[in-house]
A and B are shown apart, each in its own frame.
Chain A
Amino acid sequence: MSREEHIREFATAALAEGRVDYFIGWQQGYNSSEVIPVFIRDAAEVEQLVWNPLCHHNLVTFLKRNMPDPPDAKIGVCVKGCDSRTLVALLQEELVDKDKLYVVGVPCDGIVDRRKLEKEFAAEMVAIEFPERGKVVVTTRLGETQEFAQDAVLLDVCRLCRYPNPVYADDTAGPLETEPDRKHTQPDWTDIADYENFSDDDKQAVLEQIYSTCIRCFACINVCPVCYCWDRCVNRSRQPELVSQKVGAKENLLFQMIHMMHVAGRCPSCGACDRACPVEIPLYLLHRKMNKEIYDMFGFEPGTSLDEKPVFQTFRIEDEFGD
């Protein structure tokens, strides 16, 4: 049975048995080059659920405060490894009711970077198919087709992934993927290495360039599962205006840094924010660095164990930082 079939089977059972009011998964978008989240309320509709390397959304964001509709719904949700870590982060803080959740874990061998593919063509992509594992075939509106090796077009966070299997799940959609040896290997932070080696002036110049394109749409904030203050967010405060509502490079970077520092210790670098940004701001430059430093400081990887607390919500007297 394929993972897709497993997911459909679990969803059918959960809906038919009334264990959930709706089941969140992925379905094809307006054409096969896009995948979107889907909310299945009727077991007859489970055929819409798909699983393929375009299923990039972190569905845990739909469990945040103010998202469930109706608010007290029992919800089934699919999670990849990275997604499950954000769910664990929410559970560590007791922000989601475990008893209202049914979690289907989906082991994952990597999500394809649709934007990388998009840049290979001037014409619009209208179909992305996976005829066999490891192969990606793109078709454009003009009829051109091109094949890519999946490994060559993976998201950067997937290339460097240490948690291909969900760390938390009630049921798992198929056999586990091979785990990297986390006990004996360090995480790979080479994706930010180039930026880290820039001089201070170059860093400032790059950030100014990048953050002058930000339109303050809040897509990154809202799509993030561990960013849950919503209407009470310091970034939205008008009375007092703590963060300027003006949209300029300095203000935008301040806005983003506040978000990053506030999710520190709970963000696993799932990359949902990078993918949500309409102007393709490389947010990973911030959150990957943040997680690198957190790993260096504590050896901590956010959202991996229910027994832990996020590192900034706790302390040890023996901590040795600073003077």
Chain B
Amino acid sequence: MAEETRDQGAENATATTEAGTAGATGEATGSPDTRRVKIIGIVCNWCSYAGADTAGVGRFKQPANLRLVRVPCTGRIDPLFALKAFEKGADGVLISGCHPGDCHYSEGNYYARRKFELMERMIHHLGIPQERFKWTWVSASEGARWQQVVTDFVAGVESLGPRQGRAL
């Protein structure tokens, strides 16, 4: 919209975003459109983090755009995490945990499954394209699957390029 928005905090809001992304990576990147996409991955410790480890140990080649945040269980993941990642300038958010039935804490991912489904629908409702948010299940031994998931997801995000979020 061409209309001017109101003054309050507008000057400061953009300052946060710039400070946030520059500070987090420590790099002064070039023009926004050519920088590498930054993806935040939120993964559970027991399955997906270990799965990522397996992929690493097995030397499976995968794009390096992912920064992992490790949580004990996907049941601990609050929608706040994904939304805040987008607010602070993430180009994509990937969530992964144990397959339902295999949760290290028995039930965490059963709760998570419901939350993430709603979260995904609401994220699209905000105008964030579906290529930028994904949730899935990767177990500790599925190194190859992890490689596939990451490669596909990064390709999807890169096809859209870096994200210039206006409202989140």
Q: Flag if A208 contacts B80 (CB, 8 Å).
A: no
- Do B127 and A251 have beta carbons less than 8 Å apart? no
Q: Does A115 contact B (CB under 8 A)?
A: no
Query: Closest approach, in angstroms, between the C-beta of B152 and any C-beta of chain A?
Result: 12
**Measured CA separation A316–B110 after assembly (Å):** 7
A245 to B86 CA separation, bound complex (whole angstroms):
17
Q: B7-15, B22-30, B39-47, B63-71: which one contacts chain A?
A: B7-15
Check if B166 sits within 8 Å of A207, measured CB to CB: yes
- A38 within 8 Å of B (CB atoms): no
Q: Are B126 and A209 in contact (CB under 8 A)?
A: no
Question: Is B84 in contact with A254, judged by CB distance below 8 angstroms?
Answer: yes
B167 contacts A250, CB within 8 Å? Answer: yes
Q: Given contacts A207-B166, A315-B111, are A247 and B118 in contact (CB under 8 A)?
A: no
B-chain residues with CB within 8 Å of residue A215 when the two chains form the complex: 8
| B123 → chain A closest CB, angstroms | 9
Chain A residues with CB below 8 A from B117, complex form: 297, 321-322
Give the residues in chain B near A36, CB-CB below 8 Å.
none
A interface residues, how many (CB within 8 angstroms) = 51
Question: In the complex, what residues of A have CB within 8 A of residue B127's CB?
Answer: 198-204, 207
Which residues of A (199-238) have their CB < 8 Å from a CB of B? Answer: 199-213, 215, 234
In contact, A246 and B116 (Cβ under 8 angstroms): no
Chain B residues within an 8 Å CB radius of A254: 80, 83-84, 87, 168
CB contact under 8 A between A234 and B80, given known A244-B16, A254-B87: yes
| Residue with the highest number of chain B CB atoms closer than 10 Å, among A203, A207, A250, A290 | A250
B100 at the interface (CB under 8 A from A): yes
Cα-based distance from A312 to B122 in the complex (angstroms): 15
Q: Taking the complex as formed, is B3 at the interface, i.e. its CB lies under 8 A from any CB of chain A?
A: yes
Given contacts A200-B128, A246-B9, A321-B116, contact A205 B166 (CB under 8 A): yes
**Which one, B3, B111, B118, B128, contacts A209 given CB within 8 A?**
B3
Bound Cα distance A247, B110 (Å)? 35
Question: What's the minimum C-beta distance from A34 to chain B, rounded to whole angstroms?
Answer: 27
Which chain B positions have C-beta within 8 A of A251?
A: 9, 13, 16, 87
Known: A209-B1, A249-B5. 8 other contacts (CB 8 A): A208-B166, A234-B80, A248-B10, A248-B12, A254-B80, A257-B126, A261-B115, A312-B115
Binding site for A on B (CB under 8 A): 1, 3, 5-6, 8-10, 12-13, 16-17, 78-80, 83-84, 87, 100-101, 107, 110-111, 113-119, 121-122, 125-129, 135-137, 165-168
